[in-house]
A = this chain, B = another copy of it.
Amino acid sequence: MSAHPRLSINQATIKHASLRQAVDATVRQGVQSIGLWREPVADVGLAEAARMLADSGLRFSSHCRGGFVTMPEGAERRAAIDDNRRAIEEAATLAAAGAPGSSASSASLIIVAGGIPEGSRDLAGARGRLEEAIAELAPEAQAAGVTLVLEPLHPMYASDRAVLSTLKQALDLADRVGSPAVGVVIDSFHVWWDPDAEEQITRAGRDGRIASYQVCDWATPLPADVLLSRHLPGAGIIDFAELTSWVTDAGYTGDVEVEVFNAELWAKDFDEAVADTVEAFGTHVGTHLALPVRG
């Protein structure tokens, strides 16, 4: 199966690949776009990463990830916010190096909120500090041409990874911050269960906030490490026809990332893992996607 033109390989799907290996496997399998993670970019240095991306001809769909800013104000939180500033610069540089047409005009930095600080029970406080950090960073992101892409995570991660749990919560936060540099990602794994998903996806589209659509599947039983409970599309219970139609009807025409954290997939040869992803995406998501609309 040839790769769907809107498919993007999120590098986490082949987690153990270096940036070089990830770019090469993505190109070899005929995929046109890639989403990167900060650590493999840092391993080669930002300038070299940008050269690799430019030489590859791939589009750059997102940079993963900023956030983790829910700790109490102080040196640790200032360091986290400064690290987000560096991530904004990285996203801008990489977006400039990628081929045009990934989605919006802006570079996408995925933001994972962070959990409730150790020893605290103050969920509302952690959520408030997330919002303050986004408000602080949004003008800088906007100046750099970067969208801060809020990722609501499944509520099973609400205590230790992301106090941002629903699309509605993310969009309410974006409204209060009031910056065009704040967007959201619709991630199938995190939103499939949400009775408000259709309504909030429609709202996100109307407000121009859909910066990314990420797909992977949900299946039970969950593995011992619930972080690794994602599957390729088609291996679980998510109705990608319905979800994709909601995202499409909301006006999203950009790249669609497959981001799967799965020990079996990670154990495979990188080309084989990408080929499996191409196949699963084509069968279960691509058939429901319009072809790219590019300028």
List residues of A whose CB falls within 8 A of some B CB. Answer: 116, 120-124, 127, 154-156, 158-160, 165-166, 168-169, 172, 192-196, 218-222, 224-226, 236-239, 242
Contact = CB atoms under 8 A, between A and B. Distances in A.
Given A156-B156, A158-B192, A168-B196, 5 more contacts: A116-B237, A120-B237, A122-B239, A156-B222, A160-B220
Nearest to A117: B237
Given A155-B155, A220-B159, A237 B195 contact: no
Contacts of A165: 193-195
26 contacts: A116-B237, A120-B237, A121-B237, A121-B238, A121-B239, A122-B239, A123-B192, A123-B237, A123-B239, A154-B155, A154-B156, A155-B155, A155-B156, A155-B194, A156-B222, A156-B226, A158-B192, A158-B193, A159-B193, A159-B219, A159-B236, A160-B220, A160-B221, A165-B193, A168-B196, A221-B225
A118 to B, nearest CB: 10
Q: How would you classify the secondary structure of chain A's contact residues: helix, strand, loop or mixed?
A: loop
Interface centre among A127, A156, A172, by most chain B C-beta atoms within 10 angstroms, is A156
Contacts of A116: 237
A186 to B, nearest CB: 16
B226 A123 contact: no
Contacts of A224: 224
A230 B123 CA distance: 18
User: Which 3 interchain pairs have the tightest Cβ spacing?
Assistant: A158-B193, A156-B156, A224-B224
Nearest to A168: B195
Nearest to A116: B237
A62 B172 CA distance: 37
A228 B210 CA distance: 36
Contacts of A120: 237
Contacts of A194: 155, 165
A64 B72 CA distance: 41
A159 B195 contact: no
